[in-house]
């Protein structure tokens, strides 16, 4: 399995925190309050495991998946330091090779989907949504989609993303692409957007955590704009 983080993995957590003036770590744990002890959480592309370890400390049953041995090694170091209340199941595999149909109360993809070109990202997001129980949550933490404010505001948000994307294209072979519209994608996959938390830098929304709830089988999907118009 390809380990794109063998070289830069050691500094990943620290530089993310510095680059976001501490917003990324806060964004990663933003939706954990929706979980209770004993709930089942899967964290995809877990990296150093900030949210996974925090959740295990709160008594949540955590499964963490990452393709990179290097990232999991740093996560293990953090576990040894923090010693959370519950053990964490750590799976070193490609997320597309693991299958957990409707097993989890929450699936988190923090700064994970942005690693991939659009087609693969869609395949992975669709795959992840199959892990969520009906009525459960899918959480995506990432760079904010620039769609508000003036030209300078949106240019800053866009440039802020591309600088990070370019660095990880150089060092980890990640994809460089426009910021994805995760709320729209989640809606198209049968989720209702229950909450979005924003994390500002220099007064501008630069990071967001999006909480989608999977509709239970007996809930009807909202009418499309075209259906509403013809009603």
Ligand X SMILES: C[S@@+](CC[C@H](N)C(=O)[O-])C[C@H]1O[C@@H](n2cnc3c(N)ncnc32)[C@H](O)[C@@H]1O
Q: Which of 31, 62, 67, 210 binds ligand X (CB under 6 A)?
A: 67
Contact call for residues 199 and 205 (beta carbons, < 8 A): yes
Contact call for residue 68 and ligand X (CB under 6 A) = yes
Contact call for residue 91 and ligand X (CB under 6 A) = no
- Rounded CA gap, 127 and 63, in Å? 16
Encode 21-45: b = buried (16+ Cβ within 10 Å), e = exposed: eebbbbbbbbbbebbeeebbbbbbb
Q: Which of 53, 90, 95, 164 binds ligand X (CB under 6 A)?
A: 95
- Rounded CA gap, 173 and 189, in Å? 28
Contact call for residue 47 and ligand X (CB under 6 A) = yes
Contact call for residue 115 and ligand X (CB under 6 A) = yes
Contact call for residue 94 and ligand X (CB under 6 A) = yes
Q: Which of 39, 61, 66, 105 binds ligand X (CB under 6 A)?
A: 66
Burial status of residue 101 (CB atoms within 10 A of its CB: 0-12, 13-18, 19 or more): exposed
To ligand X, the closest distance from the beta carbon of 47 in angstroms equals: 3
- Rounded CA gap, 27 and 196, in Å? 11
Q: Which of 23, 28, 58, 214 binds ligand X (CB under 6 A)?
A: 28
To ligand X, the closest distance from the beta carbon of 226 in angstroms equals: 36
* Cβ atoms within 10 Å of 132's Cβ, excluding its own: 26
CB of 12 or CB of 191, closer to ligand X: 12
Contact call for residue 45 and ligand X (CB under 6 A) = yes
To ligand X, the closest distance from the beta carbon of 124 in angstroms equals: 7
Contact call for residue 71 and ligand X (CB under 6 A) = yes
Contact call for residue 46 and ligand X (CB under 6 A) = yes
How many whole angstroms from its chain centre is CA 121? 12
Q: Which helix (H) or strand (E) holds 107?
A: strand 104-110
CB of 73 or CB of 215, closer to ligand X: 73
Residues that bind ligand X (CB under 6 A): 5, 16, 28, 45-48, 65-68, 71, 94-95, 110-112, 115
């Amino acid at each position: 399995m390809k380990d794109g983080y063998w070289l830069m993995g050691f500094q990943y957590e620290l530089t993310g925190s510095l680059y976001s003036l501490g917003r990324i770590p806060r964004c990663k744990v933003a939706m954990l309050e929706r979980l209770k002890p004993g709930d089942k959480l899967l964290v995809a592309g877990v990296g150093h495991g900030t949210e996974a370890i925090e959740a295990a400390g709160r008594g949540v049953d955590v499964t963490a998946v990452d393709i990179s041995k290097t990232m999991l090694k740093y996560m293990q170091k953090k576990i040894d330091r923090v010693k959370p209340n519950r053990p964490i199941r750590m799976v070193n595999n490609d997320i597309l090779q693991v299958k957990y149909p409707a097993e989890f109360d929450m699936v988190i993809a923090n700064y994970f989907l942005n690693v991939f070109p659009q087609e693969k990202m869609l395949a992975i997001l669709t795959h992840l949504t199959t892990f969520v129980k009906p009525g459960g949550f899918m959480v995506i933490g990432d760079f904010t989609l620039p769609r508000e404010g003036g030209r300078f505001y949106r240019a800053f948000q866009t440039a802020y993303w591309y600088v990070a994307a370019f660095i990880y294209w150089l060092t980890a072979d990640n994809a460089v692409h426009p910021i994805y519209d995760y709320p729209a994608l989640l809606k198209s996959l049968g989720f209702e957007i229950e909450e979005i938390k924003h994390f500002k830098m220099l007064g501008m929304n630069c990071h967001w955590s999006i909480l989608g709830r999977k509709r239970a089988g007996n809930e009807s999907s909202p009418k499309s704009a075209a259906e509403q118009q013809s009603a």
